[in-house]
Amino acid sequence: HTSLLRQAHGGSGGIAAFASMLKTAIFLLKGKPSPALYEATAVCTAAMPSPTVDAEGGWRQDIKADGHSLLEPESFAVINRWPVREGREADFEAKMEASRTNRDSGAPPGLKVRTLMRRAGLRVDDGFMHSTLSVWNSETSFSAWRASVPRADAIREMMAEGIISGPPSPLFFEGLLCLESNAGP
């Protein structure tokens, strides 16, 4: 275990190896990191059942930790980073708002919450000024929606209209030990 710990934290070269690793990290960062702040718009929440988890005093009573077993995921979160073309931000936001308000059958099955987020402040160099954060009951629910024809058609339409330069770039997360309220986010 000790040798793995050393490898994970820069090897066994002592302070000189650590200083070298730190110098490399600073070079790669090209200065101090800058935060990405967002403004949330177009929040869409699904009707959520009453929470079934007892969180008396803020602590989960239903978790049995044995030190070996992994906890089962309780939700699946996705951040889609959208490559919106410069000057088309208002068109993109209008399309996202329309998709939220014009759903004939309500939220997709398994969706708990979704929000459109716009970067606040200065433009950044990664090209992603807009993101959507969605939380789902499971990865299976998300995958079914992701494979749906209406979703694919909406992305193709925005690309054809020159609103976005390509499909969204997703980041995936599993939610463990989730505390939820039927009052919403």
pLDDT one digit per residue (tens) for the chain, 185 residues:
445 445 544 455 666 776 777 777 766 666 666 677 778 776 776 655 545 555 666 566 667 777 777 777 888 999 999 999 989 999 999 988 887 655 545 678 888 888 898 888 666 666 678 899 998 989 999 999 899 888 899 899 999 999 999 999 999 988 877 766 666 55
Structure tokens belonging to residue 160: 């054809």
C-alpha to C-alpha distance for 129 and 168, rounded to whole angstroms:
12
**Closest to 185 in 3D by CA, of 72, 57, 48:** 48
Tally Cβ neighbours within 10 Å of residue 131: 21
Residue 101 pLDDT: 56
Structure tokens belonging to residue 96: 């996202």
Bridge partners (DSSP) of residue 178 are none
C-alpha to C-alpha distance for 83 and 80, rounded to whole angstroms:
10
Whether pTM exceeds 0.75: no
Structure tokens belonging to residue 178: 């989730």
Residue 78 pLDDT: 93
C-alpha to C-alpha distance for 116 and 103, rounded to whole angstroms:
16
> Measured at the alpha carbon of residue 94, what is the angle toward residues 39 and 83, in degrees to the nearest 5?
65
Residue 5 pLDDT: 44
Residue 124 pLDDT: 63
**Closest to 89 in 3D by CA, of 33, 1, 157, 162:** 162
Exposed (0-12), middle (13-18) or buried (19+): which is 114, by Cβ within 10 Å? buried
Which residues, at least 6 apart from 75, have a Cβ–Cβ distance to it below 8 Å? 112, 135, 136, 137, 138, 174, 175, 178
